[in-house]
Chains A and B, each alone.
Chain A
Amino acid sequence: MTEGKKRDQTLGLVANNEKGLQVDQALGLVVSGSVEKGTEVRLDSQASVEDMVVGRYVTIAGKKRRFFGMITDISLGVTDPEIAVSPPDTADTFTAAVLEGTATYGALHVLPMLTLGGEATAITEGPQPVKTVPSHFSRVNLASESDMELVFGKEDESRFYIGNPLDMETHLCLDLETLVKRSNGIFGKSGTGKTFLTRILLIGMLQKSRAVNLIFDMHNEYGWMGTSEGGQRQVKALKQLFPESVAVFTLDEENSRRRGVSTDFVVKIGFEEIDPEDISLLRQTLNLTEAAVEAVYQLRRKLGRDWMQKAIDLNDSDETRALLAEMSIHESTFQNLKRGLATIRRLPFIVSRSPVDAVKQIMEYLDRGMNVVLEFGRFRDIAAYMLVANMLARRIYNRYQEKMEASMGGTVAPPTPLVITIEEAHKFLNTEIASQTIFGTIAREMRKYNVTLLVIDQRPSAIDEEIMSQMGTKITCLLDNERDIDAVLAGVSGKNELKTVLARLAPKQQALIFGHAVPMPVPFRPRDWGTAESYKEFTRGNNYAQKAEKDIKDLFD
């Protein structure tokens, strides 16, 4: 270093870093703040305000402990209001250079979220939630890789790498065993990458959580081949990567065969399996009146298990009229109901008597630790989806409940934790019907019976508030509707700051995760999916290939 350069550094004259920010670079000093609103940091004159990014992580070196926080806002300030009124002439670069960083400065709003080190608990149990603010003039630095690792963890037996915090190389790792203990949600506008994110999370769960998944796959994207955004290329899905632990069930055999999917089971649903609760759930979709729904319960009571078949078979005769009069069901109500039931009956997977009990099959697979993807084939309309998902989930949940109660008695082991993935969740979990569907119950009662939900939705504001509040971890891609943003962030500390971050996510491949499974809210870029390289990465921990090799070796030795 030349003498001149050395002196320049002592005077703080070194020009702005042309390469942008470096990890661990000093940014500035804390000048004010509060626990509730976060801290104000005045930028050093060497750090350019244009290099700062909302959502970046910083560490603040307090006197007794270090704080880990996120930049939530960036602003420009002047010490003297007169400067803003009569700024220097644009040609006067000298005055502008002098004022930069002194009378005019950049300021960061940093929300401290965790403390690193300091107290005994922070040393033994890792980062702790923040309960104070750093003292005046504490130095603020960009978070280093090692700090990030301390906060976001390393990939290990229970932690799964889901992506990178924005603009960083660090791996964001989720403790999936913790994650699946509660219901979780993935939100985002259509086309923001919810499906890709869900695939990644599902793979993580099947590799590292010891839970099994039941996926109601409305758009046939999770079991076999899915399409990338824009539909230009085919991307692999779960069964292609993990054939030994994923089974694909289908409601539409023909469609699955045409798509070249190797299915394990074709699901048929018998009339007798449909309960009045299933119909009442579909009231809006089937355009039924309140009275018609009421009539369903009466018919069930009167006609028994076969009520649906019998009700459809009732023809326009005096006997029918007498029967209806006996139950005080009005003729027009009955016609309304009949039309609705006919819609259901037209679904090809509904048969008068199912040869095999689909629920039993699913349970068998789940008990073996297999993950089940239920494809809907061509039956993508919401009525079919709601009917099937609700019906199957309810009966599976009942089985789990029985098993769990048996295990409480101490005779058998508790069932493997189950995660049920549902799409278009607001249709099941809106305020009107959340109390009637089994998903409402699962979301509220959570893990008591070892069953939790993974909710995928694009309209979180339509989901019942109570259910949203019970979700452990939420991952959200870009949302731009104010009500949706409010619904997702309800009850999170630093909500306003996170709003800024959420609204600035890129429309694709960026998401914000917060809640139970992460120590603090993190905007991140999900892992790559769709390239040969990425598949290799995902299946690296997969012992399937090794097992096959071992089997071959054993066979020939």
Chain B
Amino acid sequence: MENKIAEVIAAGSAEFTAECYELYNIPPLGSLVKTINEPVEIIGVVGQSMTSGFEPGRRPIARGKDEASEAAVYQTNPQLTKLLRSEFQVVVIGHKNGANLFQYLPPKPAHIHGFVLPCSSDEIQTFSRSFDFLNLLMHNEQIPPEELIAAALREMSRVQPDPSAFLIAAGKKLTGLMSGDYQKLKAVLGRLTL
């Protein structure tokens, strides 16, 4: 697994948290990632992410007063890359068992220390043939759902042969899900322009 980018450090049925192998190497908000819990491949969307110190009690301090740039701060303090860590939360939106793809929660959560990998373009295309996952995104509690949905759809649309047609179809699905809340729908649609 050469392209692994992170490792699961906390896992639940509907979401898991992963720590990046490299500082700041966080996949973009809304991008599709997966982790494997044999024989199931759990697929999720990157939600909330953060970078902080290893020890919860020790807060980082400002160090760049005399430095010319941000990069120079890290050069002068090489220990920083070892003392800081980036992590992100993943909202689970489906799973794959063999050739079968399901857009609902997997029977079991991810394993701790499971590797987290970004999904390939082909995988994203296959996954985004249906929009049933939108329902799971709407009910996440970490991040405003409008933001997360819009980000996920934008990310998915990048690999589509006809991105605008894809977004229109997704929008139509959302219209059904958000019926009765036109303002919220408008907010999402407003964030879907490429």
Indicate which residue in A10, A94, A102 contacts B167 across the interface (CB closer than 8 Å). A94
In the complex, chain A residues whose CB is within 8 Å of the CB of B100: none
B3 within 8 A of A: no
B161 contacts A98, C-beta separation under 8 Å = no
B171 contacts A3, C-beta separation under 8 Å = no
Q: Chain B: interface secondary structure?
A: helix
Indicate which residue in B169, B186, B192 contacts A11 across the interface (CB closer than 8 Å). B169
Indicate which residue in A3, A13, A103 contacts B168 across the interface (CB closer than 8 Å). A13
Nearest CB in chain A to that of B185: its residue: A103
Nearest CB in chain B to that of A14: its residue: B165
B171 contacts A82, C-beta separation under 8 Å = no
Nearest CB in chain B to that of A10: its residue: B129
Q: How far is the CA of A101 from the CA of B175 in the complex (A)?
A: 10
B39 within 8 A of A: no
How many pairs, one residue from A and one from B, have CB atoms within 8 Å of each other in the complex? Answer: 58
> In A1-54, which residues have CB < 8 Å from any B CB?
2-4, 7-8, 10-13, 45
Given contacts A4-B162, A10-B129, contact A94 B179 (CB under 8 A): no
B26 CB to closest chain A CB (Å) equals 29
> In B139-178, which residues have CB < 8 Å from any A CB?
161-162, 164-169, 171-172, 174-176
Interface residues on B, range: 20 to 34
B193 within 8 A of A: yes
In the complex, chain B residues whose CB is within 8 Å of the CB of A99: 175
In the complex, chain B residues whose CB is within 8 Å of the CB of A79: 175, 179
Nearest CB in chain A to that of B165: its residue: A13
A98 contacts B175, C-beta separation under 8 Å = yes
In the complex, chain A residues whose CB is within 8 Å of the CB of B186: 88, 95
In the complex, chain A residues whose CB is within 8 Å of the CB of B166: 11
A406 CB to closest chain B CB (Å) equals 75
B161 contacts A4, C-beta separation under 8 Å = yes
| Among B161, B175, B192: residue with most chain A CB under 10 A | B175
Q: How far is the CA of A12 from the CA of B167 in the complex (A)?
A: 12
B28 CB to closest chain A CB (Å) equals 22
A103 contacts B182, C-beta separation under 8 Å = yes
Given contacts A99-B175, A103-B182, contact A8 B193 (CB under 8 A): no
In the complex, chain A residues whose CB is within 8 Å of the CB of B189: 94-95, 98
A102 contacts B182, C-beta separation under 8 Å = no
Given contacts A98-B175, A103-B175, contact A8 B162 (CB under 8 A): yes
Given contacts A80-B179, A94-B167, contact A101 B161 (CB under 8 A): no
Q: How far is the CA of A101 from the CA of B168 in the complex (A)?
A: 11
In the complex, chain A residues whose CB is within 8 Å of the CB of B162: 4, 8
A342 CB to closest chain B CB (Å) equals 81
Given contacts A94-B189, A94-B192, contact A45 B179 (CB under 8 A): no
A-B contact pairs, 20 of them (CB 8 A): A2-B161, A4-B162, A7-B161, A11-B129, A11-B166, A12-B169, A13-B165, A45-B172, A80-B182, A82-B182, A94-B167, A94-B171, A94-B189, A95-B186, A95-B190, A97-B171, A98-B171, A98-B172, A98-B189, A102-B176
The 10 closest A-B pairs by CB, nearest first: A98-B171, A4-B161, A102-B175, A11-B169, A82-B182, A102-B172, A103-B175, A13-B165, A80-B182, A97-B168
Chain A positions near chain B (C-beta within 8 angstroms): 2-4, 7-8, 10-13, 45, 79-80, 82-83, 86, 88, 94-95, 97-99, 101-103
Chain B positions near chain A (C-beta within 8 angstroms): 129, 161-162, 164-169, 171-172, 174-176, 179-180, 182-183, 185-186, 189-190, 192-193
